[in-house]
Amino acid sequence: MRILFLGAPGAGKGTQCKKLAKKFELTHLSSGDMLREAVKNGTKAGLAAKEFMDKGQLVPDSVLIDLFREKLSQPECAKGFILDGFPRNIAQAKSLDQLLSEIKANLDTVIDLYTPDSILEERICGRRICPNKACNEVFHVKYSPPKVEGICDACGTALVQRSDDKAELVKQRLSVYHELTSPLIDFYQAKNLLHKVDGDGEQEDIFAAILKVLNVKSIH
């Protein structure tokens, strides 16, 4: 099972990808998590990416492509994987096609989680994350607050707001998404891979809709 998720920042891709990865024992490849790990570890790619991420700009294709080439070549991806946050534009999509060809694999399904910008802005600005690498829990000041304000329920670490989740950068991130990433909808529609799922609702309802799509595609 090889699945690609599309959706603007805050659409809930990460949440649904994690649930799906757990249910089907797939490898969840999140460009955001991979980049943040590289930044935290101070790798060459991470340092290059940080300059762009702090400004709310997209990381150059070459950095992302190198990261995914390494990951997709690992044995753990042979059973199946979920791509989250990559590709972000047509050029990356074509590079992904080449990468998959190299490992003799094809995408089975592309799911687009669509959500109005006003809801996305509220979701993103209220998001708080646990910086503990061994934890990585995510909370929201309105929708899923921690039991103790500002403290992770799971490990007790002080929660933080990602620099690119701050209000002044959110509108810019959404604008960039619509300009560069939205054309991917047409790209994958032409390949007869695209399925739209409403991302404005309860997590379990959205997950049920995703499972219905996968059943329709007869992927097991």
Calpha distance 193→214 (Å, rounded) = 11
CATH of the domain at 181: 3.40.50.300
Question: Is 152 a member of any domain?
Answer: no
Cβ atoms 49, 102 nearer than 8 A: no
Total structural domains in the chain? 1
Peptide bond into 87 cis (omega under 30): yes
Catalytic residue among 2, 36, 128, 173: 173
Question: Is 6 a member of any domain?
Answer: yes
The range of the structural domain enclosing residue 48 comes to 2-115+169-216
Question: Is 35 a member of any domain?
Answer: yes
127 catalytic? Reply is: yes
In angstroms, the Cα distances linking 43 to 10, 67, 214 are 26, 11, 37
128 catalytic? Reply is: no
Name the nearest CA neighbour of 44 among 57, 30, 56, 60. Answer: 60
Question: Is 137 a member of any domain?
Answer: no
Question: Is 73 a member of any domain?
Answer: yes
Question: Is 145 a member of any domain?
Answer: no
Q: Rounded to two decimals, what is the model's pTM?
A: 0.76
171 catalytic? Reply is: no
Catalytic residue among 2, 71, 88, 123: 88
Question: Is 56 a member of any domain?
Answer: yes
Catalytic residue among 2, 13, 50, 123: 13
Question: Is 130 a member of any domain?
Answer: no
Per-residue pLDDT of the chain (220 residues; tens, 9 = 90+): 999 999 998 898 989 999 999 999 999 998 878 888 778 888 777 888 888 888 888 788 888 887 888 778 788 888 899 999 889 889 999 999 998 998 888 999 999 999 999 999 998 999 999 999 899 899 999 989 999 999 999 999 999 999 889 888 998 989 988 888 889 999 999 999 999 999 998 889 999 999 999 984 444 4
123 catalytic? Reply is: no
- Quote the pLDDT of residue 70: 76
Catalytic residue among 2, 36, 50, 127: 127
Calpha distance 41→20 (Å, rounded) = 28
Catalytic residue among 18, 19, 69, 162: 162
